[in-house]
Amino acid sequence: MWNLDGNLLHDRWKERSFAKEEKGEDFLWEERIEGRFARTLRLPGVVQEAKIEALYNDGILTVKLPRRSQR
């Protein structure tokens, strides 16, 4: 989830992943990662909030922030 406040972009997300699972005759062992993360980025200018695009794929977050025209 992201939030734009002037030229500050606040990004917050929660990650939950299961890294490994092993089953035996008398046990089940699971290893997982879970946590909340937050980041704030100061943008060099004002962006078009309605046109912000974000994509999270294979552990990579791509964010497109089109600049507002300066006319």
Q: What does the angle CA 54 – CA 70 – CA 7 come to, to the nearest 5 degrees?
A: 45
pLDDT band of 71, cuts 50, 70, 90: low
Residue-wise pLDDT for 25-57, tens only, equals 887 777 777 788 888 988 877 788 888 888 888
Residue-wise pLDDT for 13-27, tens only, equals 787 776 677 787 887
Dihedral sign computed on CA atoms, order 37, 40, 41, 46: positive
Is residue 10 scored above 80 in pLDDT?
yes
Cα–Cα distance for residue pair 25/43, rounded to 1 Å: 55
